[in-house]
Amino acid sequence: MNKNQTRVTMNKKIIGTNAGIIWNLLNNNQKWNIAQLQEVSGLSEEEIYAAIGWLARENKIEIEKNENGSEAYYLVIEYYF
């Protein structure tokens, strides 16, 4: 790491908070890519991937790989009756 870079420390609370930010963005029934999530959320790529991992672990997100190799992310909506 050079002196112009800063080290970001993340813990479970920060990752969980970021997961909530991403979840709220994904809650509009559309598919998002990383660049879109980064632009709208203001989070770094590393923070977004950690948040996506959190949501994936909770089975709240789907990841779709497109034919061109790009990925799209969207929420899993489950209804319990």
Closest CA to 22 of 43, 46, 1: 43
Tell me: pLDDT of 35 over 70: yes
Domain residues for 60?
A: 12-75
In one letter, which amino acid is 12?
A: K
Query: Does 68 fall in a domain?
Result: yes
Query: Does 42 fall in a domain?
Result: yes
Give the DSSP letter string of 37-63. HHHHH---HHHHHHHHHHHHHTT-EEE
In one letter, which amino acid is 61?
A: I
Query: Does 50 fall in a domain?
Result: yes
Q: Quickly tell me which residue has 């800063």 as its tokens.
A: 6
Query: Does 4 fall in a domain?
Result: no
Query: Does 5 fall in a domain?
Result: no
As a whole number, mean pLDDT of residues 19-36 equals 91
Query: Does 37 fall in a domain?
Result: yes
The enclosing domain of 50 has a CATH number of: 1.10.10.10
Query: Does 81 fall in a domain?
Result: no
pTM: 0.78
As a whole number, mean pLDDT of residues 27-52 equals 93
Question: What's the total number of domains in the chain?
Answer: 1
